[in-house]
Chains A and B, each alone.
Chain A
Amino acid sequence: MKLPPFEYRAPATVGEAIEILSASDGAAKAIAGGQSLIPIMAFRLASPTVLVDLNGIAGLDGIAIGKTGVSIGAMVRWRELEEHNGLRAACPLIAAAVSHIAHYQIRNRGTIGGSLAHADPAAEMPGIAITCDAQIEVVGKQGMQRVAARDFFVGPLTTCLAHDELIKTVHFPLWPRDRRWAFEEFAQRRGDFAFAGIALYYDERPDGAIDNAHVGVIGVTPVPRRLDAVEEILNGKKLDDGVLALAAKAASAAVEPDDDIHASAAYRRALTGTLLERALIAAAKRECAQ
């Protein structure tokens, strides 16, 4: 359980970090909060020869709420998102999801950029990024580019990031005040990895029908993704028992969970439907932020 040896580098700028990563040809790894990378190294599942610590780089922190949405620096820690005053109104789904992320001590260190780059299929923030159509600002040797969250996640623990690219900022689009939303997940113990989770939001037409439904799922697919079949059922409908049942059935059918020591695939599939139902009911009942 001891880490393999490595060379430790603590660059002061993003450019310097990219230089080190680039020169290493894939043998170096960036460390942000380290709450997933250190255990992976302790288990010797990864043995980078150089560790590039991003904690001393200025300009990767900060939460900006503006007219085009919310921008969050890659090194912003969960604790800062939890304690931010404006975030609950500016993007309530982020705030709701963060409260489910890991445990108190881990939220004091873990970062949003680290979580996205790690791309655990059961992690909350990749699912929120997908659900909210977030844009991920990636910086590399060629400069900056924006990648849509849906193109960012490639597979379990795999993203489109090259070995010498870093996440700089995550942008969440503007959130209308009357939007309805919910986040529901189930884990064996609070803070543990979710068996399954649903993040969703929708807007309401003047007649109360659902519009612009975004339904994301975590933990039961190789990468978090939106459930198109469920969104199609919801859009244009008013929420009633029939729609709820149809949507839940479609959610269960749309996911591809695995059996593991904690729960069977059949259980996770059923759980996905149940969580979707709970989320839709919670969204419909919740008073909108004023």
Chain B
Amino acid sequence: MKLRFEINGKGIEADVAPRTTLCDCLREHLNLTGTHAGCEHGVCGACTVIVDGRAVRSCLLLAVQAAGASIVTVEGLADGDELSPLQKAFRKHHALQCGFCTPGMLTTLHALLSDEPTADEERIRDVLSGNLCRCTGYIPIVKAALEAREHYAKKQGSKAG
């Protein structure tokens, strides 16, 4: 099936079978391998991408179901070579080791903090319960998210202004 999406701000076409998940479409057809395929049944959260503003598991969404949508993957977070404030906070707090879960952590937190820049620690922990990390023990990830909040608050403030 010929599909058209907007991915990280660019119009992109793909020709995939209906059974292709969005995750496989991104990785194997569009070479956007930043999105990681982990469990492939909706448990680990590594494949999380943002579809029309909402964080979703790309292994549980068919590519055809995302046709016409605006999609943000981990490749879309940085501004060229300049890491996003959330990514910088991850680096500062050592919020990753092996890096496998990181794309899902970043996209999930980016969606959350874009919607809820004042999310408290409990909310952040609740949301991150959908993303498995076997290296960090989560504490540095939560710290990075808490620190990144002010950038999202500013962004929302400037949008409103």
Bound form: Cα–Cα A2–B19 in Å: 8
Chain A residues with CB below 8 A from B48, complex form: 105
Q: Which of A2, A6, A102, A190 contacts B24 (CB 8 A)?
A: A2
Identify the interface centre among A3, A39, A51, A103: most chain B CB within 10 Å of its CB. A103
Contact B65 A55 (CB under 8 A): yes
Per-position contact with B for A209-228: 1 when CB-CB < 8 Å, else 0?
A: 00000000000000000000
Contact B56 A108 (CB under 8 A): yes
Contact A190 B129 (CB under 8 A): yes
Chain B residues with CB below 8 A from A240, complex form: none
Binds A, one of B7-15, B38-46, B71-79, B95-103: B38-46
CB of A76 to closest CB in B, whole Å: 14
Contact B45 A109 (CB under 8 A): no
Identify the interface centre among B1, B18, B45, B131: most chain A CB within 10 Å of its CB. B18
Chain A residues with CB below 8 A from B54, complex form: 79, 108
Contact A3 B19 (CB under 8 A): yes
Bound form: Cα–Cα A109–B69 in Å: 14
Bound form: Cα–Cα A189–B42 in Å: 15
Chain A residue nearest to B24 in the complex (CB): A2
CB of A51 to closest CB in B, whole Å: 7
Chain A residue nearest to B39 in the complex (CB): A1
Chain B residue nearest to A189 in the complex (CB): B129
Chain B residues with CB below 8 A from A86, complex form: none
Contact B60 A38 (CB under 8 A): yes
CB of B21 to closest CB in A, whole Å: 7
Task: Find residues 123-159 in chain B having any chain A CB closer than 8 Å to their own CB.
Answer: 126-127, 129-131
CB of B35 to closest CB in A, whole Å: 13
Does A203 count as interface, using CB distance less than 8 angstroms?
Answer: no
Does A8 count as interface, using CB distance less than 8 angstroms?
Answer: yes
Bound form: Cα–Cα A34–B48 in Å: 15
Chain A residues with CB below 8 A from B41, complex form: 1, 38-39, 42-43
With contacts defined as CB atoms under 8 Å apart, how many contacts are there between chain A and chain B in the complex?
Answer: 84
CB of A124 to closest CB in B, whole Å: 15
Per-position contact with B for A1-21: 1 when CB-CB < 8 Å, else 0?
A: 111111110100000000000
Q: Which of B18, B39, B42, B45 contacts A35 (CB 8 A)?
A: B42
Contact A105 B56 (CB under 8 A): yes
Does A191 count as interface, using CB distance less than 8 angstroms?
Answer: yes
CB of A175 to closest CB in B, whole Å: 26
Per-position contact with B for A97-111: 1 when CB-CB < 8 Å, else 0?
A: 000001111101100
Does B17 count as interface, using CB distance less than 8 angstroms?
Answer: yes
Does A61 count as interface, using CB distance less than 8 angstroms?
Answer: no
- Using known A-B contacts A3-B19, A34-B62, determine if residue A109 contacts B56 with beta carbons closer than 8 Å: yes
CB of B48 to closest CB in A, whole Å: 5
Chain B residue nearest to A36 in the complex (CB): B42
Q: Sort A-B residue pairs by CB-CB distance and give the 7 closest, nearest first.
A: A103-B130, A8-B18, A39-B41, A1-B40, A3-B19, A108-B54, A104-B127
Please, could you name 28 A-B residue pairs with CB atoms under 8 Å apart, sorted by A?
Answer: A1-B40, A4-B19, A5-B17, A8-B62, A34-B61, A38-B41, A38-B61, A38-B62, A39-B41, A39-B42, A39-B60, A42-B41, A51-B18, A51-B62, A55-B65, A103-B130, A104-B126, A104-B127, A104-B130, A105-B130, A106-B42, A106-B130, A108-B55, A108-B56, A109-B61, A189-B129, A190-B129, A191-B126
